[in-house]
Amino acid sequence: MATGTEEPTLTVDELAARAGVTVRTVRFYSTRGLLPPPVIGPRRVGHYGRDHLARLALIEELQHQGMTLAAIERYLEQLPPDLSARDLAIHRALVASWAPDKPEDMTRAELERRAGRALSEPDLDLLTAMAVLERPEAGGDGYRVDPGLLRLGVELLDVPIAHETILAARTVLLEHTRSAAQELTRLFRDEVWSPYRERESDPEHVAAMKSLSAHMQPMVVQALVTAFRRSLKEELRAAFTAR
């Protein structure tokens, strides 16, 4: 529920539903210190915000990567305490970026439970257009869902921007990121891989190349995200300052 222009606040039940977890899980994470305490409102009811939701999503992603709760605690302790929901979402994206793509099959009920809300037919149409999910074939009830994109797609459903604009922005991002990926791949192939092929007999060089290959994707993704954030900030500042 919203209070004026302030950030919407959620009860523990609403938070759990939006995050796709149980209330018991939320309370367990809170007792472990993984979630900051809620804001206590009238009648001693705790209220949670977008930061809690983003942190829950990050915790779930880290668990999906196979990290133990102890490892997740250490990971979260290293993060600045004042990170915004947007910053936490970027951390989650970076964590998920090197995870194998594993689409999941879900029923409509499971899809809405994971989304934390009911989904109308127009909502499903937009999620399909954003490649978040594939609708079931005629007579079926199973949706093919990309869990890594589901939370982002659901959040975009409430963004006060025309759906056409969101899809146009997605097209721009896909075109330019594909171009960057092609150029980076060419650079890696010509400047790194080719010299490696000439030195395959050197065991130390082979080991170094295997290590680089294993860590290349997350490093490149983090570099791209950092560069894009800075560029976008500068462009927005210039655009609105000019106006």
Angle between helices 121-129 and 147-156 (to 10 degrees): 120
Which whole number is the average pLDDT over 68-80?
Answer: 85
Position 3 scores a pLDDT of: 38
Q: Is the pLDDT at 2 greater than 80, yes or no?
A: no
Q: pLDDT for 157-174, tens place per residue? A: 888 878 788 888 878 888
Neighbour count for residue 161 (Cβ, 10 Å) = 9
Q: Is the pLDDT at 205 greater than 70, yes or no?
A: no
Q: pLDDT for 83-102, tens place per residue? A: 877 778 777 766 665 555 57
Q: How buried is residue 151: exposed, middle or buried, by Cβ count under 10 Å (0-12/13-18/19+)? A: buried
Residues 6+ apart with CB under 8 A from 142: 105, 106, 107, 136
Which whole number is the average pLDDT over 186-199?
Answer: 71
Q: Mean pLDDT in the chain?
A: 79
Sign of the CA dihedral running 147, 176, 222, 232:
negative
Q: pLDDT for 120-144, tens place per residue? A: 999 998 899 888 899 988 777 789 9
Q: Is the pLDDT at 214 greater than 60, yes or no?
A: no
Q: pLDDT for 11-31, tens place per residue? A: 999 888 888 888 999 999 999
Position 143 scores a pLDDT of: 93
Position 84 scores a pLDDT of: 79
Residue 58 or residue 190, greater confidence: 58
